[in-house]
Each structure stands twice: as C-alpha cells, then as structure tokens.
C-alpha cells in the first residue's frame, strides 16, 4: 500500500465569485512498508481563463513551465493514472480535496478515485503545538527538517509534507474511506434518474430552475419529448 502525498497550487483570485482553478499538482508516492519514496509527480495546468501574473510570480513559474502547461482534464487524468490502484491520499489540510472535487466536476471526470483521503495536518500539529492546525512552513521548522526548494510550489510542498509524514508516521492513523464519503460532503455529485434508474453525473440532469436540477436525466427528457411528437 502506498501513500500519495499531494499538494495543489491555485490561480490567485481577486474578486468575489471568481472561479479558483488549479495551476499545479505536485505529489510524492511513498511505500508505507518501509517509508521509502517511490516516485514524484508534477504537472502545470493552464486554466481556461489563463494563469494570472500574480500566480506565476507566487509559485515561481518559468517560461518553460507556462509553455508546457496542459489542460485541466489532461492534468487530472495524468494524476489519476499515476497514483495507481491501492493508496491513501494524504494532504496538509482539507481544502485541496474540495478544489479537486470542483475541478473534476467542471471537467466531467468521475470522482470514484477520490478514496482513502486523509488530512494529516491535525495529527502532526497536535504533536508539535497541541492544536489541530499550523502552517506547513512552521511544521517543517519545528520538526528540524531542511527546506528543499520553494514553498508555494506544489511539488516541493508535497515533498515537505511527505518528509513530515515520514518523521511523524507513528503519530498518524491513516483511515480508509469511500469516494462517496468524500464527495458527498460537498454535494450530491451523482444522482439516480427516476425514469431510467441509472446513476449519472449531476450535470447530465435537466436544468429545471436557475442553479437547480431535476431528477430526470436529460437523455430521458429528450426521449419523452420525441415520443410526444410522434
């Protein structure tokens, strides 16, 4: 069983209501049997609205990074393929899970892979400062771990989180959980059509009123309309 320790970097937003997009996914794959690093992962993403200059400066993206950035859908599929079959998803905090959910929903990607999610921040923070939250940088400093690369880099923040996990593994209890448990906390992303009884992605249901969807899928409604005309 492996631990996938990952970190996301986001497009900076300045106005209320603006969509926050992922611009980088960084991750480290660690074998839980001997806590050795098996592989690392990094991909830069070009959001549909582009990458803001403030974001480029914050995460120190180079011209090459920008030129090689891929679409959100391609980046997510690469990450999902890389993590493998049996794993725990580990992160410093819970917010990255919500951004992954939103990105997958926007791109029409299944969330069945979002299982065994673990926020390791509370376990380690309680050991270091006797509270549930602290900054990643402060945790690194208090754990006497040498800083590698830059903070606000998805890859290096994932590396730092992996180093914290390795050092404090005896204080961490990884939990198994289902994908449904993780995404249903946010919203019911999969619904069952009352006509065909097939569970489908929520965007496949007819828009009834603004921001509300019915429980009859668009395909069934279309078929019903065709029958009404015959």
The CATH number for 107's domain is 3.30.420.10
> Do 100 and 151 have their domain in common?
yes
> Do 53 and 132 have their domain in common?
yes
- Give the integer Cα–Cα distance in Å for 57 and 73: 24
- Give the integer Cα–Cα distance in Å for 80 and 84: 7
Task: Please report which helix (H) or strand (E) contains residue 162, including its range.
Answer: helix 154-167
Structure confidence at residue 170 (pLDDT): 93
Q: What's the whole-model pTM score?
A: 0.79
pLDDT of 210 strictly over 60: no
Q: Determine which of 106-120, 156-170, 180-194 has the lowest per-residue pLDDT on average.
A: 180-194
Average confidence (pLDDT) over 35-54: 94
> Do 177 and 195 have their domain in common?
no
Instruction: Compute φ and ψ for 117, nearest 5 degrees.
Output: -80, 130
**Cα end-to-end distance, the chain, whole Å:** 57
- Give the integer Cα–Cα distance in Å for 57 and 61: 7
> Do 124 and 203 have their domain in common?
no
The residue range of the domain holding 206 is: 190-229
> Do 165 and 220 have their domain in common?
no
Q: Give the pLDDT band (50/70/90) at residue 162.
A: very high
**Domains held by the chain: number:** 2
């Amino acid at each position: 069983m492996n631990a996938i320790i990952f970190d996301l970097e986001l497009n900076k937003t300045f106005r209320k209501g603006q969509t926050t997009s992922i611009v980088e996914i960084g991750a480290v794959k660690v074998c839980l049997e001997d806590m050795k690093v098996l592989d690392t992962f990094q991909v830069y993403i070009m959001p549909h609205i582009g990458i803001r200059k403030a974001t480029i400066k914050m995460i120190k993206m180079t011209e090459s990074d920008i030129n090689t950035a891929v679409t959100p859908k391609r980046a997510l599929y690469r990450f999902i393929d890389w993590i493998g079959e049996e794993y725990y998803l580990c992160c410093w905090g819970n917010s990255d899970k919500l951004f992954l959910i939103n990105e997958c929903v926007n791109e029409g990607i299944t969330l069945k892979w979002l299982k065994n999610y673990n926020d390791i921040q509370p376990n380690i923070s309680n050991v270091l400062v006797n509270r549930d939250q602290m900054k990643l940088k402060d945790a690194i400093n208090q754990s006497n771990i040498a800083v590698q690369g830059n903070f606000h880099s998805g890859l290096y923040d994932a590396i730092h989180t992996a180093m914290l996990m390795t050092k404090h593994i005896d204080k961490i209890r990884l939990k198994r959980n289902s994908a449904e448990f993780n995404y249903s906390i946010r919203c019911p992303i999969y619904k069952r059509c009352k006509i065909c009884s097939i569970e489908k992605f929520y965007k496949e249901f007819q828009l009834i009123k603004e921001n509300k969807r019915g429980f009859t899928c668009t395909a069934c409604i279309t078929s019903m309309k065709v029958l009404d005309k015959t």
